[in-house]
Amino acid sequence: MVSEISLPVTDQTTVTVNLTHWLKREGDRVAEGEAVCEVETDKATVEIPAPAAGLLRKILVPAGTEVPPKTVVGLVGDPGDALPDIDPFYKVDKVAPAAPKMPEPPKLPQAATPARAAGQKVIVSPRARRLAEERGVDLGTVTGSGPGGRILEEDVEAVLAASPAAAPASAAAPASAAARAAHGKAERVSQSWQTIPHFYMSVTVDLTRMAALKAAAGEGVTFTDYFALALGQVLPQHPALNGHWNSATRAFAAAAEVRLGIVVEAEHGLVIPALADLRGRGLPAISAERAQVVAQARAGKLSPSALAAPTFTLSNVGPGHIDAFTAIISPPQVALLTVGSVQPMPLVIEGQVVARTAATLTLGADHRAVDGRQSARFLEDLKRTLEALA
């Protein structure tokens, strides 16, 4: 039986990934789950596993190619299996989102290229289309070097470089990983802020008991682990905050699992890897997985599962003196929780003002899916759970 190696949808905002290189060659034997190739997103490098054991019978997309998620890049099977003749892009969504209208730039002279037959379909990667629109390149005159004649970003760059009016080489050079990450972040943040009606609520939580538990737990356990533990207990009781908003149907779908995204500072900016379903899990398991995904994120190598869209996000500012902060929701999620610095604060306990270890938690929510009453109930339940951890 032949199995397809398909590129996963790492998140809802990634339109293309770069298949940087193959770890196996055609004819190599692979085990199920063994990494066979690597792709680079604007967030991290992801190893793609073999879907089944067998031989890597066919590589459909060469290394160095920029392709959309869901592309079939290779085939795994036994020596006697007949290989199907497939289009690597047959799973890819055919309709790309419309690009925002921009003032038309002056047209640049085009390099001479072979004429394309009238009515011939032009297959263009999103990055190539965006660059062509920004620089005034007629895609009808660009020869694609990708699979099936697909026009890639470097094909447009080659036309720009060959033009007498081309910008300096440094401007047309492929973007660095840091630049790609910055561009991807800018697009996601802009999309979120422009399309999601945010609102915020805050609550201050006495974490004196939690701080003592953390100290007793020893090195390696973090406050983030305890927040994740509490969210795994509370979010199932508040399904309106845990899930995804479908922009096409303009409706919210609650998730059965609690896949918590945790904001991590990595080399090229912030990334949000997701923890596996938190329901029913204990602190040791959560802490071990959190440590693993944080290390992977900082190394720039995350598993496809860690890059899958979370259902809720936690952003903990860490040690310091930040009382509270707000953040922007990451689509298609409808809520996130930010945690200010855990620090001494004056709290009223039984009518007396006393110094306690505390932090201010702020819930950001999408008003299309969540109302103020639901948000308030969630924060009250979370506060009670955190203050009662034992």
Does the residue 109 lie in any domain? no
Instruction: State how many domains the chain has.
Output: 2
Helix residue ranges per DSSP H, the chain: 126-135, 153-162, 169-172, 177-195, 208-217, 223-234, 283-299, 304-307, 372-387
Distance CA 114, CA 45 (A): 36
- Each residue of 53-70: pLDDT tens digit? 999 999 999 999 999 888
Does the residue 149 lie in any domain? no
Looking at 77, 112, 129, the residue that finishes a domain is 77
Distance CA 386, CA 377 (A): 14
SS3 364: strand
Does the residue 259 lie in any domain? yes
- The verdict on 68 and 186 lying in the same domain is no
For residue 292, what are the CA distances in angstroms to 297, 302, 360?
Answer: 9, 10, 27
Does the residue 210 lie in any domain? yes
Contacts of residue 43, Cβ cutoff 8 Å, sequence gap at least 6: 10, 11, 14, 181, 184, 266, 268, 271, 302, 307
Does the residue 209 lie in any domain? yes
Does the residue 32 lie in any domain? yes
Does the residue 271 lie in any domain? yes
Q: What angle do CA 95, 13, 328 make, to 5 degrees?
A: 140
Domain extent at residue 198: 181-387
Residue 154, Ramachandran bin (φ over 0: left; ψ between -120 and 50: alpha; else beta) = alpha
- The verdict on 67 and 202 lying in the same domain is no
Q: Would the pLDDT of 156 be above 50?
A: yes
- Each residue of 205-223: pLDDT tens digit? 999 999 999 999 988 999 9
The pLDDT of residue 179 is 64
Tabulate helix, strand, coil % of the chain (nearest 5).
30, 25, 45
Of the pLDDT bands very low, low, confident and very high (cuts 50, 70, 90), residue 8 is confident
- The verdict on 204 and 67 lying in the same domain is no
- The verdict on 377 and 253 lying in the same domain is yes
- Each residue of 338-366: pLDDT tens digit? 999 999 999 999 999 999 999 999 999 99
Residues 357, 344: contact at Cβ < 8 Å? yes
The domain spanning residue 51 has which CATH number? 2.40.50.100
- The verdict on 54 and 191 lying in the same domain is no
- The verdict on 203 and 332 lying in the same domain is yes
SS3 382: helix
Looking at 77, 100, 133, the residue that finishes a domain is 77
Distance CA 160, CA 109 (A): 9
Distance CA 238, CA 236 (A): 5
Looking at 23, 46, 77, the residue that finishes a domain is 77
- The verdict on 197 and 65 lying in the same domain is no
Helix axes of 208-217 and 223-234: crossing angle, nearest 10 degrees: 120
- The verdict on 185 and 56 lying in the same domain is no
Q: What is the mean pLDDT of residues 226-250?
A: 96
The domain spanning residue 292 has which CATH number? 3.30.559.10
Does the residue 208 lie in any domain? yes
Of the pLDDT bands very low, low, confident and very high (cuts 50, 70, 90), residue 98 is very low
